[in-house]
Structure 1
């Protein structure tokens, strides 16, 4: 262990954190506590409020005699207990027990309550126990894109898992049902049921006495009431005063001047947008007020004569009142530029205004549009008794006349494929190409990734076919405190893989359930082939499991020390199929797998059509691309007639970039008009920066160009005169084929991976040494490299046939 005292100090501090302690106990409670048939746990908006659907469900459970024998709990973060308690007291709710979110009591309830009801998600460490009944009401008809439709968002995994785990999914209309099931990719992997029922929160809109009561309590019976509920435009990782906050306050101040004393403009701003400064400014306004904190949001919204909103789904609910809705999307062009919508706002029946004068005019005008079809479509089942229908059906099992149906599938096999972190590397490229070449109609494919690690690469999701599904997971294990000690010892190589499995095998199996919930998969493929925890996680899958080998892993251990020999030996023995991407790496893989284990060959398919199409685009560096010279200088070099040689590969020791630069230096001394371009998708241990220092120290600053993270490398490759692979070892060397497709002469070190491919198609191999790399550059410079001859269509068909054999 690197520093046992530092580690012990960290552990001691964690034991003082009640959340950390409670979370570590959850798995014990999950295993040991029986289900309490008469306990109901409710959670609203991630335990930050009690409003919306959960408020009206809570109200019904507390007031209807049928539920007198049940104990009802409501979760709340500690800092929200006071505000939630105030609302409960205002409405006279009794017999509800508030449990602090993430406390020891909360963990116990999460593991033992028979009925779990949520309008969002339970935490990602939660595992649904057999026998628990989970009702997910969600929180609105979607207007904005969700799930897979948000192409750069990799953080939908916990939502997806919660929806897969739910026994009942509440949908207020067919549109919501179809969108949620489709875009969270629930078909085929879910065994739950959807319920078509009005939202509980909308029941208040049918209660005119409730409206009258609040108006009288606030002494505003003679006022014209407007309610403004805009969308929060920020993101959870960027909370703070924003440009939009400033716009909002400007509009509110100007609107206040235009309103009269018989008008009140109530606003309900997202708490993350309503900062202390803004709250103070609103309090100074005469005709504009915040929604009163003591009222539930929809109960108060019910008194409004007009709803003003923008991109919030609240208008889908409010429409059932048949009162007027006004859309005020003052930043429409800017907002829609980055956020997809399920429908064109111009197709909605509600009037849109973009300035204050038009807004005031609409507020004071009578409703002059027909929303009959809109209400019929989106408020289909809204009624005064929707809450009773939902609760009695899902908790008591009473037939209340609701439509309840299964989330259906197509009957095909479900294949889960772990892709790694979606980095712009050979593994992601090969997986994308495989998905393009195989018949996606044969099976249902779900590509999985760890959402934290994939955060920077979310745009990669959009590069896969729409027929490919996704399943994001959190990348940690649920472990008890004792388990964590074993885990730490394992990471420090003080515990072997076999000992680790013997000790924590059951826990790893539980973590597969924690990651994927009740999703139904027939086969799993650890396509990445790396990442210790994910190799272990998939090894415990109860079904056919396959692991890919993309490289000479013995060489990886020797050169980079980034793999555990005992883990690979365990994995290659445990997985049903071990797949090497080329014949060349079968031998080292066989050593790890054992002589009795058959190694399958599935070569990487090559998406030559996309490569050719992308190569026709102009040469371009991305805003995030790092370039060792000024961009203007780079473009000038690429457009020149000077000889340019290129290497593509991540900045890592095994790629042989140091010896390539040394070899180029020798050639450059004979002709200083030549250029070497090295392009990598990522950099290991600051290797990119180290190479820049090396280049500058050798006086090659203007002639060796280093590029990091170029989204479309193919125009750059195509503009060069030759490609050289200088690696010490490789899995295959996919970039060789890419350069060949683009018409470049290619040369490679004589190493496992490229060797078989190059020999089969007449390629040029050079000695795997400094001198060999220099010779390769000389041959490219002198025009001595002959082109290879590959029919890539036939090649891909051969690869696909190899892949299909795994399913026989």
Structure 2
């Protein structure tokens, strides 16, 4: 089996390599003038706004030279549109994710999509991208929904690459585009606020009305001479363990409603496209299910009553003036998990959770006050204000380039300085903690703030991304760079040779990086670009390809010591950090997190890296309110359930509140953190004082070694290697003294956190410890077992006490320092940006360590 799995993995990698090579070559081909590509719901069919625009263009006598390409998923080629246009030389079809698809997306002049292109998509110069989206939102979107910043990254990326976004009304523009997806101040395209093309499809002639009924009848749905009731709920995410359960529940509801309404009504079900893959296996659905390849707005045109929950479909149906009923059996659960922009009382129709009551609303007389006709009329004026003809107006603006007299909005005006901050991979470490504190401290009324990071499946990243303030725009990078295999071989070879300048000195490499910037950030531009992590060669290079900005890169540690740091027999940073240091001259400023650390790096880094420019300093910030709030919880409260469901022994011991004295430390289990020194010093103290206990909180490669050391020294039951905690502060608050045993650090965030919790602090002596906190707050001892043991005994004797940290004064100073270095004027001697945004250095190789 391992051999088979390995072979399958190699085959997948080979197929992916072929696809990326083909994509790179297609992206080098000329743009095909007059070619229009359409995609709806990832190829589910010829549907929604793209379908309406397609038909308008086909009928436009003044646009005869256009050629049309429809994207259909592998299982969607039975769509009636294929038969309808078979033999038409103007129209062809490609299968999504096929090589012809890659070519069409890469070379079509016009791209029309109602959702998003895949993560590899990067609009090329000369292409015109129209993102129509697929509805005015009732449910929250983007940054307004839980974890929306991270989960909505590809949507934001697509929006920022678009030339035009379609909007049904001003609410959609302001609430979804400008606010929820944070496009205000960053979207360089235009928002066409002329209504939705797909709504035009609802306005049916008598012949068209009859044709839609005929299509429904041909699908096995009995609709002739009956009042059509369309039930169209939205997707409920992970509400059910198995989405098939959702389909079964919907079918039960439809059957119950049909039995209550009787033969005069035809209750039909339109499922969300995410559920369509499950419907074919559910018995009984064929008699009620609207075919997925029948455009929904055609069905709305023959519908008497619409029933929905949180779907945007009802905004379209408002244009008909007919009744809308909201059926919300899971309202509290949905609002808690997702949220809505409007409450029940504001909606343009009655709201009920009961199927019997639902039937009464459907059958009620038109003038029944429970139907809220007056509210429905008001909503019609507000949300579908522009009347029929939206398709023609959109075609005028995009294809005829005639915007005169049309509603076209510009969101690009930047009213405050914009900052992009690369925050690393959001692992639970000091850099992430300090980055999150900085994001919370930057006033949203003064700054437009964005963060960038490479998205991973890490639980730590997901947890920490949820801590990013909601006003901060998130750019989670998915996928890899485009470009031919050979160009990436060259890129990696330059990296191995530590030739940092190649990214901008060689035109093909520069084009590769410029393209990646556009793929990740679209049209976004920033006044300041900050590599706050400073540990990723990829990001340190990519940020140099931003449009012109003040660029700074942070030093969180003694970088020469980091180069020499070992994990086992490896030096994991021996190649990457010299490559990053070689880029320092291309940044406007290098910034250390304390004056002492600035001095250390100024002394130790090679002269060709610094080029005579001083390293500035900006202290880390501390979110004292958050630390205190989390510290107030019970130890281990809300932590992931341990294996076996049993709380760890140390938690129960900590909660006994006996005469035990608890020392605690927090940090990665790595060699430079030197926790083995602390464990040995603790063992010396424990020999003579049975009250003492030790908690070593963290994660990392040396966990097994530390646990073995605890066993070797006979410390079982009094010294605990806890592993990582989402909330270490509650444990710190319950302990008595904080101890740091590192060989070197930058400005340790954990010391600021310990001071806020109110703990006495003992630390070993290292180069940057002296200004880690204000004078006198740390009891510093030599980095030796005996000296650290003496420090622990001094605490037990009452001679090491806590000192209060004036956090408002400290944070005001730290924020002012950040603003000065990240947003101040570019210092004299800064590298001049090239026309692409990257610098023009000469080739150089740097050796460090």
- Structure 2 length as normaliser, TM-score? 0.86
Q: Work out the CA distance in 2 between the residues paired with 1:715 and 1:473.
A: 33
Tell me, yes or no, if structure 1 residue 644 matches structure 2 residue 656: no
Q: Work out the CA distance in 1 between the residues paired with 2:513 and 2:642.
A: 40
Aligned residue for 2:62, secondary structure, equals helix
Q: What is the aligned partner in structure 2 of residue 311 from structure 1?
A: 310
Q: Work out the CA distance in 2 between the residues paired with 1:461 and 1:144.
A: 21
Match of 2:618 among 602, 622, 641: 602
Alignment of 1:112-191 (within 5 A): 112-153=107-148, 154-179=150-175, 180-191=177-188
- Mapped contact 2:146–2:337 kept (Cα < 8 A): no
Tell me, yes or no, if structure 1 residue 96 matches structure 2 residue 91: yes
Match of 2:429 among 425, 430, 439: 425
Residues 177-223 of structure 1 show CA distances to partners (whole Å, capped at 9, x for unaligned) of 00121111111112211111121111122214222332256373312
Residues 710-740 of structure 1 show CA distances to partners (whole Å, capped at 9, x for unaligned) of 3433332222211100112211112112212
Match of 1:676 among 676, 685, 694: 694
Alignment of 1:64-463 (within 5 A): 64-77=60-73, 79-84=74-79, 86-90=80-84, 94=88, 95-153=90-148, 154-179=150-175, 180-209=177-206, 210-216=208-214, 218=217, 220-234=223-237, 240-241=242-243, 243-255=245-257, 257-258=259-260, 260-274=262-276, 279-283=281-285, 288-293=287-292, 295-367=294-366, 368=368, 369-370=372-373, 371-383=376-388, 385-399=389-403, 401-452=405-456, 456-461=460-465, 463=467
Q: Work out the CA distance in 2 between the residues paired with 1:239 and 1:382.
A: 42
Q: What is the aligned partner in structure 1 of residue 839 from structure 2?
A: none
- Mapped contact 1:486–1:500 kept (Cα < 8 A): no
Aligned residue for 2:202, secondary structure, equals helix
Deviates more, 1:332-341 or 1:271-280: 271-280
Q: Work out the CA distance in 2 between the residues paired with 1:710 and 1:499.
A: 42
Q: Work out the CA distance in 2 between the residues paired with 1:693 and 1:475.
A: 39
- Mapped contact 1:418–1:448 kept (Cα < 8 A): yes
Deviates more, 1:324-333 or 1:496-505: 496-505
Residues 691-710 of structure 1 show CA distances to partners (whole Å, capped at 9, x for unaligned) of 44543565434222344443
Residues 365-406 of structure 1 show CA distances to partners (whole Å, capped at 9, x for unaligned) of 2343211111111111241x2111111221112347421121
Query: How much has 1:46 moved relative to structure 2?
Result: 2.1
After superposition, the CA RMSD in angstroms is 3.2
Aligned residue for 1:143, secondary structure, equals coil
Q: What is the aligned partner in structure 1 of residue 828 from structure 2?
A: none
Alpha carbons of 1:721 and 1:445: their partners in 2 closer, same or farther (altered >3 Å)? same
Q: Work out the CA distance in 1 between the residues paired with 2:497 and 2:391.
A: 56
Aligned residue for 1:114, secondary structure, equals strand
Alpha carbons of 1:449 and 1:475: their partners in 2 closer, same or farther (altered >3 Å)? farther
Query: How much has 1:690 moved relative to structure 2?
Result: 4.9
Aligned residue for 2:119, secondary structure, equals coil
**Structure 2, unaligned runs of 5 or more:** 826-849
Q: What is the aligned partner in structure 1 of residue 482 from structure 2?
A: 478
Alpha carbons of 1:758 and 1:322: their partners in 2 closer, same or farther (altered >3 Å)? closer
Q: What is the aligned partner in structure 1 of residue 847 from structure 2?
A: none
Match of 1:549 among 538, 550, 555: 555
Deviates more, 1:261-270 or 1:175-184: 261-270
Alpha carbons of 1:293 and 1:732: their partners in 2 closer, same or farther (altered >3 Å)? closer
**Structure 1, unaligned runs of 5 or more:** none
Q: What is the aligned partner in structure 1 of residue 792 from structure 2?
A: 777
User: How many residues are matched?
Assistant: 790
- Mapped contact 2:120–2:519 kept (Cα < 8 A): yes
Q: What is the aligned partner in structure 1 of residue 844 from structure 2?
A: none
- Mapped contact 2:143–2:470 kept (Cα < 8 A): no
- Mapped contact 1:23–1:102 kept (Cα < 8 A): no
Q: Work out the CA distance in 1 between the residues paired with 2:443 and 2:363.
A: 59
Query: How much has 1:142 moved relative to structure 2?
Result: 0.8
Q: Work out the CA distance in 2 between the residues paired with 1:244 and 1:650.
A: 43
Residues 598-645 of structure 1 show CA distances to partners (whole Å, capped at 9, x for unaligned) of 211111122334433443444442242669983576145235142111
- Mapped contact 2:258–2:266 kept (Cα < 8 A): no
Residues 472-524 of structure 1 show CA distances to partners (whole Å, capped at 9, x for unaligned) of 32253223121343455567x47754567766343123211211111121221
Query: How much has 1:148 moved relative to structure 2?
Result: 0.9
Q: Work out the CA distance in 2 between the residues paired with 1:14 and 1:445.
A: 39
Q: Work out the CA distance in 2 between the residues paired with 1:278 and 1:129.
A: 39
Q: Work out the CA distance in 2 between the residues paired with 1:755 and 1:586.
A: 13
Aligned residue for 1:483, secondary structure, equals helix
Q: Work out the CA distance in 2 between the residues paired with 1:204 and 1:166.
A: 24
Q: Work out the CA distance in 1 between the residues paired with 2:19 and 2:674.
A: 49
Query: How much has 1:766 moved relative to structure 2?
Result: 1.4
Aligned residue for 2:230, secondary structure, equals strand
Alpha carbons of 1:240 and 1:501: their partners in 2 closer, same or farther (altered >3 Å)? farther
Query: How much has 1:782 moved relative to structure 2?
Result: 2.6
Match of 1:567 among 565, 579, 589: 579
- Mapped contact 1:157–1:451 kept (Cα < 8 A): no
Q: Work out the CA distance in 2 between the residues paired with 1:751 and 1:185.
A: 43
Residues 771-801 of structure 1 show CA distances to partners (whole Å, capped at 9, x for unaligned) of 3333332222232224446533333333233
Deviates more, 1:626-635 or 1:478-487: 626-635
Alpha carbons of 1:482 and 1:43: their partners in 2 closer, same or farther (altered >3 Å)? same
Q: Work out the CA distance in 1 between the residues paired with 2:252 and 2:359.
A: 15
Q: Work out the CA distance in 2 between the residues paired with 1:244 and 1:145.
A: 21
Aligned residue for 2:663, secondary structure, equals strand
Alpha carbons of 1:566 and 1:216: their partners in 2 closer, same or farther (altered >3 Å)? closer
Q: Work out the CA distance in 2 between the residues paired with 1:253 and 1:701.
A: 63
- Mapped contact 1:202–1:382 kept (Cα < 8 A): no
- Structure 1 length as normaliser, TM-score? 0.90
Query: How much has 1:175 moved relative to structure 2?
Result: 0.7
Tell me, yes or no, if structure 1 residue 805 matches structure 2 residue 820: yes
- Mapped contact 1:508–1:540 kept (Cα < 8 A): yes
Alpha carbons of 1:10 and 1:309: their partners in 2 closer, same or farther (altered >3 Å)? closer
Query: How much has 1:456 moved relative to structure 2?
Result: 4.7
Tell me, yes or no, if structure 1 residue 653 matches structure 2 residue 671: yes
- Mapped contact 1:39–1:115 kept (Cα < 8 A): yes
